[in-house]
Structure 1
Amino acid sequence: MTRDIRKLILDKLAKDGTVKAADISGATGLSRAYVHRFFQQLKEEGMIVLVGKANTAHYVLPRARRAIEGKPVNIHRLLRNRDLRENVVLESIKDEGPWFARLAENVGLIVDYSFTEMVNNAIEHSGTDTIDISLRESKDRLQFEISDRGVGIFNNIMAKKGLDTTLDAIQDLLKGKQTTAPEFHSGEGIFFTSKMVDHFSIRSSGKWLVIDNEKNDVYVKDSPLKTRGTKVSCSIRFDSTRTLSEVFGRYTDPDSVEFTRTAVSVRLYRNNVQYVSRSQARRIVVGLERFKTIELDFQGIDTVGQAFADEIFRVWQVRHPESRIVPRNMNENVEFMVRRAGWVDDLLTTMDMG
């Protein structure tokens, strides 16, 4: 019996190129658990290899897997935005081949989270009729793009939040915990995705927001993409050591598991001017009272004015004592003005933002 089952498995592989435990169970009437023992034996002997996970799992000959794995994945889908579900979209793309099974577990979990979050945003926020999805492998990383022909993410934020410019919308987005549909969403998807992947970008409304986690840089430039809608691009290295728990842990309260921290980059507001006015300060801190800890990054800022520092570190902090602003990357000029406004070192030591 043992020899017959092994032969049946190998014969089917030779004929069809692939086999599942369900195929052999159905042909013999034996239980899947019993049949699985023979698959495991052949796998341990190196005669067959497992490709895929869960409902996509199947076995192939070793030479077939080498051939499959040697071919980079390049998948493209143009979908009508009608009754779409992001998890179903991802599962159907996983069925295109063993590309997902090749990913390290931590990378696979990040792709699962970030892909479904970005597709969900296009489904529920863009107002688009179609969603264009591409996923491809390069030598060292996986990249996917989600494009729509909707209202545009920055235009949507401006309209819903009453903001004046695209840069205001970008800054609002970077704060995290922001959403144009609060009854349905927490607004965390874009924020966490931008921290998980190695490279994240959004092109919309003539602007290109880039978050490069490999270089620890955030910048905005004019986008050559002038078409209507939004294009979100994400890429992650195959050898990334980043994990979901690491990113969630950095920006959530360990006691309540709520999203309570954020990182705001002041330099995005720098348009060849100094930060001197209260109005500039108010633009930066608007909406941040939702968070318990706010990281304010002064990288590249030469100096700030007294009114600017006073509005943030005294006026706003007094109005919102339940929140804590943590300045980072200050030169001595900025630190002098911030200290004059009332900031003291214990704000930094209370919580390490990493």
Structure 2
Amino acid sequence: MAVEIEELSGEKALTEFVQFYDRVYESRPIRWTAMQALELPMLTGTSPFAEGRTIRPLVGRDGGQIVARCAAAVDQRYLDHWGDDVGHIALFEALPGTRDATRQLMDEACGWLASQGMTAARCGFGLGEFPFAIDSYDDLPPNLVRQNPAYYHALLKDAGFESEKGWVDYKIAVTHELVERWQRALDGAAAQGFDIVPLRDVPKDKLVGQFVDTWNVAFDRHWGAAPFTEAEFSLLLDVLGPLGMLDLSVLAYDGDAPVGVLWVNPEMTAMAVASEGREVRDDERLNTLGIGVLPAARGKGVNLAMASYAYLQLAGQGYTHVSYTLVLDDNWPSRRTGERLGGFVCANYMVYRRNLRGR
């Protein structure tokens, strides 16, 4: 049958869009489930994550059934920040054997982006999602990190995309020696006058503003990043705060001024779906981590101290492994931080780009 490309709207249709994720991954021995609580409101336009973004959810149907999906997006916050006329294609998922459907889906998405003045389409980093895994396919990654099938790369390349930016993922095996190293890093920052404060202890009237301001300045020149809003962070606080985020995430202060930010979500493997006989391994019970330091405070150990605080908390809870999570291939300051904390590369990831002119 001929593939039909369709733009979806309305809660029922968009729920089908979101839940298609589970159909793609249902044969996996262990997997995460669709993040409907966050994705559906964004697609319906009722979430803070939809503000400043024009999002067009698209599906490819064969015989009436969805076989591929994506969301084409013009992110005005991103464009105002970078001014590079790059549009985004997010939430791509597809069944095996869908080369033609994926090509038609991406042609529709990219044609629309071009009509909006975009000169390129980025797939795999935008609207809050992480890049595509290019190895380690059988492991359960930290929650929010992609667990895509290996065949996605051929589908995307056949649909006109090229590799744009590589990433690495760092994992750390907790040892007595590393616990001592982390404590020294924390003590060293304190000796220099820096105060590492868990978010649970930051005054509520200052928490959101200080976190978002510090995050946005720290990530101002980070490749591909779009400014975060207070409304977005407030929503994530409501969702993730009760799960332990407030205990593990920190702000670093020099006097009364925030100079660093650490965002750590605890491991959530209780939410993973596993087939009979497939247990969650200890080295899969991993946090996610994002870290940033203001330019004036870099090179003073603030980064090591913030991460060390979270790792000491996790080690004290009995975790045998912790995650430094994703880092750009060429972000050597952050990669060296991960290595100094004891990390080793455990997986690799890729962001794709399709140029909309001159192909």
Q: TM-score, normalised by structure 1?
A: 0.30
Q: TM-score, normalised by structure 2?
A: 0.29
With a CA cutoff of 8 Å and minimum separation of 6, indicate the structure with the bigger relative contact order. 2
Q: Radius of gyration: which is bigger?
A: 1
Counting strand residues as a fraction of each chain, which structure ranks higher? Answer: 2
